[in-house]
Amino acid sequence: SFLPIKCSAGVVEKEIQDGTIRTITPGLPNIDPELLERLVHDALVWSSLHGLIVGDKRIQRSGSVPGVGMVHAPFALLPTMSFSESHWRQACELATIFNELVDRVSMDGKFLQESLSGTKKVDPFTSRLLDIHSRMQQMNKKEEVRMGLLRSDYMLDAKTNLLLQVELNTISCSFYGLSCLVGGLHRHLLNRYGEHLGLDSERVLGNNTINQYADALAKAWNEYNNPRAIVLIVGQAHERNMYDQYWLMNTLKERHDLTVIRKTMAQIDAESELRPDGTLVVEGQEVAVIYFRAGYTPKDYPSESEWRAKLLMEQSSAIKCPSVSYHLVGTKKIQQELAKPNVLERFLDNTDDITKVRKCFAGLWSLDDPSVVKNAIRNPKSFVLKPQREGGGNNIYGEDVRDALLKLDKKGSEELTSYILMQRIFPTASPAFLVLDGICHQEHAISEFGIYSAYLRNKEKVILNDDCGYLIKTKAQSSDEGGIVAGYAVSDSVYI
């Protein structure tokens, strides 16, 4: 269904089926194939020169050695998504409410443990996180300075025109670096070719997430109040999306002159020390802020060493972004529990805020209701089945939902408690050019968009509660999943 245009070694080979390429966004004239070639070529050059890059999976060391085996990050050639001002405002407004909500829920240890008690029985990964959480409860550990760098993801439901939340991420939200760059790419292309395309570069919405996130981490560092302390980034040993992280690390160093080090969990286990007073010391330096870009998937814990590191960090007095409580609030199960009647009311006081949050909830169900399961078996295409996982590639869609539910039903109901069922959201598709690995594909594409946000408080004082820019992930309508590094989706910008 797509028209690949291969761009290799500066030579563009065309494989255009009937000689024409149809419109990409409504109102956009047919693109002349030669113009398209030039756009793709310029975009690939710009990406390479500006660090819109990821590690190339074909090259083994690309995930561990910076500067080795780089390929441009997948991007949309032109902005695919155009927004109504009101949806945009709605999403930004929700960001600060979700910040508060996450903080409130994180303080209710009993709610977290009870909501996840079924998951605990069948999912060893979540179970271990819950163990760490209950140990902290037993120790009566107080997190006085609490920080969240979150991203709430949405899709616009075509039928109802409602902005519906896909999920709320509380750990390792990524792509802020790439997302800030892709807007720059689009502006660059439209400056040169906008007139031919009928698009105005000024209308590409700017994005400042990197600076805002760096500023937020610096503010947290400041609350720790030790000028010699450092920021610790917890990373994966192999991370093809490392440049995204290096953008943030570099910005932290340059804008705030902070010492930032990156360690894997295994390294932290081997090289760090927890002093009796709670001070965490790595390489002889006191840690003020721990920023997690690892630890959100079972794959990050290949041995006991990583679990020891997670516990050690949690016990420390460093500011954790996120703490294990914040981490657990971001689980799919908690998302579903919050959508139950009268649960938001336990955490938010303002009734307007409750109404706003509830309005963006899609249908969410636990699988302990047989009538819900029966309905999903009958209409599997209307649902997504989600296990308790993060990082893309885990959900079940379409006919597989039926098969999985029938299988899970047989295994017994306990297995079902680790999954949630969600209404499938169907956004409007529009034609788009997706550039992956130097090849331009024309696709009917749909977009998901996330609003980043930052929250920081010290006891009763809220120091920061802001929305922090956006991420647009665009993918072929035919693709169920949406990860960028996984190769399902491309990063994109907003055209207002």
Report the interface residues with Mg ion, using CB under 5 A: 169, 390
* Distance of closest approach, residue 298 Cβ to Mg ion, in angstroms: 14
Task: Report whether 375 belongs to an annotated binding site.
Answer: no
C-alpha distances in Å from residue 64, one per residue of 47, 237, 249: 21, 6, 16
Q: Choose which of 73, 280, 416, 425 interacts with ligand ADP (CB under 6 A).
A: 425
Give the one entry of Mg ion, ligand ADP, none that residue 321 binds, where binding means its C-beta sits below a cut-off of 5 to 8 angstroms depending on kind. Answer: none
Give residue for tokens 């500067």: 67
In the shown chain, the binding pattern of residues 251 to 270 toward ligand ADP, with x for contact by CB under 6 A and - for none, equals --------------------
The least distance separating ligand ADP from the CB of residue 277, rounded to whole angstroms, comes to 36
**259 or 297: whose CB is closer to ligand ADP?**
297
298 binds ligand ADP (CB under 6 A): no
CA distance 382 to 384: 7
CA atoms within 13 Å, Cβ hemisphere of 298: 10
Confirm whether residue 465 is marked as ligand binding: no
- Is 285 known as a binding-site position? no
**338 vs 425, beta carbon nearer ligand ADP:** 425
In contact, 243 and 69? CB cutoff 8 Å:
no
Residue 245 among known ligand-binding residues: yes
| Binding window for ligand ADP (CB under 6 A); candidates: 32-40, 220-228, 383-391, 461-469 | 383-391
Select 300 or 448, whichever has its Cβ closest to ligand ADP: 448
Q: How far is Cα 74 from Cα 397, in angstroms, rounded to an integer?
A: 24
Residue 99 or residue 395: which is nearer to ligand ADP going by CB?
A: 395
CB of 27 to ligand ADP, least distance (A): 26
475 is in an annotated binding site: yes
Taking the least distance from each CB to ligand ADP, the nearer of 43 and 472 is 472
Binding segment (CB under 6 A) for ligand ADP, from list 199-207, 352-360, 384-392, 398-406 = 384-392
Question: Is 13 annotated as ligand-binding?
Answer: no
* Residue 17 C-beta: closest distance to ligand ADP, Å: 28
Which chain residues interact with ligand ADP by CB under 6 A? 153, 166-167, 362, 384, 386, 390-392, 394-395, 422-425, 448, 481-482
Annotated binding site for Mg(2+): which residue ranges? 167, 169, 390
Annotated binding site: which residue ranges? 151, 167, 169, 245, 332, 386-395, 397, 422-425, 448, 475, 481
Annotated binding site for ATP: which residue ranges? 167, 332, 386-395, 397, 422-425, 448, 475, 481
